[in-house]
Amino acid sequence: MSEELVNRCECVGRTFAQLKAYESFEQAQQATGCGAECEGCVPYLKLMFQTGETAFAIDDPRLP
Ligand code: FES
């Protein structure tokens, strides 16, 4: 099984690379609704705004 990277909010159909254009997680969520549906992407989105990276292993060790 190949390793899948988490690189988008599936619920709103936006990649982390697109969402990175916003200043913060809160602004991205206000503008697009990302992270407000299943919330599965929220820890990755927060890590994205901390690190500037736009793709993460599903079990990234930096996740809370
Ligand atoms: S994947 Fe982002 S809210 Fe569901």
In-domain check, residue 29: yes
Ligand 1 neighbour 11 (Cβ under 6 A): yes
Please report whether residue 62 resides in a domain.
no
Residue 62 pLDDT more than 70?
yes
Is 38 a pocket residue for ligand 1 (Cβ < 6 Å)? yes
Supply the DSSP string of 13-62, one letter for each residue: TEEHHHHTTSSSHHHHHHHH-TTSSS-TTHHHHHHHHHH----EETT-TT
Nearest CA to ligand 1 atom 3: 35
| Total structural domains within the chain | 1
Reported as a single tens digit per residue, the pLDDT across 3-60 is: 789 999 999 999 999 999 999 999 999 999 999 999 999 999 999 999 999 999 999 9
Task: Please report, for the domain that includes residue 15, its CATH number.
Answer: 1.10.10.1100
Range of the domain at 22: 5-57
Q: With respect to residue 31, please indicate whether it lies within any of the assigned structural domains.
A: yes
